[in-house]
């Protein structure tokens, strides 16, 4: 049955505080946008009125410490069938968002609603919010659907409970009611189902995969980081802060690494890691005359990167790779459902990583025997 929430003021006699109802759904949205932790203290808001691919707008979009996305939708006087259907529709769109698309949503949110923080990246906001050194290897491996309402009818409750209990859909409802006592207003919150119980049902049905032994790398090709130089001299790199370069230490010599250029470009190469990560100052290459020299001494774009001598925190770091197969950026391989990650390197355990590797083997013509121990 629908949840009823009441507040009583303690005194010589109990006095019930009057329920007034929220003035408008937009006010409730503004309250939650100002501090989404009133819904759940473990969330970070990353989007508001997020445009979807089918012309609709998600009221609020959040992320938790595990990198799961949370779709938050206000009821807005719609029928139970309409609002739950809308939530499920949004879920079908959100589940395919890749890391770079999520970062773009956050950037748009900050620029519009918090321009004073427009220089803050999703990585920075995430790590500061959750007190971690880096984001999860892969974002959006799962998502949650949350309906926000001041009250819920029997039909909505039945539908939500059915989806959660029978099909393991991570869907729940949270109720906010406003009470007024004189000039003071109070807001209460109550969940339809304990979120922990919903998560337990979902976890029981969720398949977890071991790491398949294949490394992932994100190569941020830009005006100073040239993919053609990486192909020619055999390296992948990252820098601009320990934030970006530290994950390169994940790559182990002898391991096979698949290189993706983020921002929707696609995969451009696969190779064998030959050496552990080193600062750009220590990365040696053939100068074309048979002499081994630091890459920083050559007339290449990579030489413009920050060195350890200039700034140890922002220095570029490089990993030597013996390429098995590379393609120019214009021939990058991208398919719907491919794994993507903002970390410079990772050991993914996401379901779509195995799919991605198998498809890339086919597209690049890679046989397993080309893999070196």
Distance CA 63, CA 43 (A): 6
Closest CA to 300 of 246, 217, 231: 231
Instruction: Classify residue 366 by burial, with Cβ atoms within 10 Å: 0-12, 13-18, 19+.
Output: middle
Contact indicator for 259, 353 with CB cutoff of 8 Å: no
- What fold does the segment set 8-205 form as a domain? Trna Endonuclease; Chain: A, domain 1 (3.40.1350)
pLDDT tens, N- to C-terminus, the chain (373 residues): 445 677 888 888 888 887 766 655 667 888 999 999 999 888 999 999 999 999 999 999 999 988 889 999 988 767 667 888 999 999 999 999 998 899 999 999 999 999 999 889 999 999 899 887 778 767 888 899 999 887 777 888 888 888 888 888 899 998 888 888 888 888 888 888 888 777 766 666 655 578 899 999 999 877 778 999 999 999 999 988 776 788 899 999 999 999 999 867 899 999 999 999 999 999 999 988 889 999 999 999 888 888 888 988 889 999 999 999 999 999 999 988 888 776 789 888 877 899 999 999 999 999 875 454 4
Question: Where in the sequence of the chain do the CATH 3.10.590 domains occur?
Answer: 214-370
pTM for the whole structure:
0.58
Cite the residue boundaries of each domain of the chain with CATH code 3.40.1350.10: 8-205
Is CATH 3.10.590 the classification given to domain 214-370?
A: yes
């Amino acid at each position: 049955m629908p949840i009823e929430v009441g507040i009583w003021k303690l005194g010589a006699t109990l006095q019930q505080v009057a329920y007034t109802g929220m003035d408008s759904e937009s006010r409730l949205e503004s309250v939650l946008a100002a501090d989404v932790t009133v819904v759940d203290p473990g969330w970070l808001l990353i989007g508001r009125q997020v445009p979807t691919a089918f012309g609709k707008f998600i009221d609020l979009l959040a992320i938790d410490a595990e990198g799961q996305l949370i779709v938050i939708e206000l009821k807005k006087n719609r029928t139970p069938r309409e609002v739950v259907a809308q939530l499920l529709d949004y879920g079908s769109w959100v589940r395919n968002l890749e890391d770079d698309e999520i970062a773009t949503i956050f950037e748009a949110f900050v620029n519009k609603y918090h321009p004073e923080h427009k220089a803050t990246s999703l990585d920075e906001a995430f790590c500061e919010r959750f007190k971690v050194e880096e984001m999860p290897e892969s974002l959006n491996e799962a998502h949650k659907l949350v309906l926000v309402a001041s009250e819920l009818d029997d039909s909505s409750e039945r539908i939500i409970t059915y989806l959660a209990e029978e099909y393991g859909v991570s869907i729940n409802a949270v109720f906010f009611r406003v009470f007024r006592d004189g000039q003071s207003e109070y807001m209460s919150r109550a969940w339809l189902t304990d979120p922990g119980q919903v998560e337990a049902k979902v976890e029981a049905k969720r398949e977890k995969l071991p790491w398949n032994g294949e490394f992932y790398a994100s190569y941020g090709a830009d005006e100073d980081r040239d993919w053609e130089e990486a192909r020619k001299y055999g390296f992948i790199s990252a820098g601009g802060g320990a934030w970006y370069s530290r994950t390169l230490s994940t790559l182990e010599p002898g391991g096979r690494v698949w290189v993706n250029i983020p921002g929707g470009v696609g995969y451009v190469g696969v190779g064998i890691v030959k050496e552990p990560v080193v600062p750009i100052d220590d990365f040696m290459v053939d100068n074309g005359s048979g002499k081994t020299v630091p890459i920083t001494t050559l007339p290449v774009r990579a030489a413009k990167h920050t060195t350890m001598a200039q700034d140890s925190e922002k220095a570029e770091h490089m990993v030597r790779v013996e390429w098995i197969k590379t393609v120019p950026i214009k021939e990058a391989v991208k398919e719907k459902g491919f794994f993507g990650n903002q970390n410079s390197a990772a050991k993914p355990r996401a379901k779509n990583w195995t799919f991605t590797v198998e498809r890339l083997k086919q597209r690049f013509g890679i046989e397993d025997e080309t893999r070196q121990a």
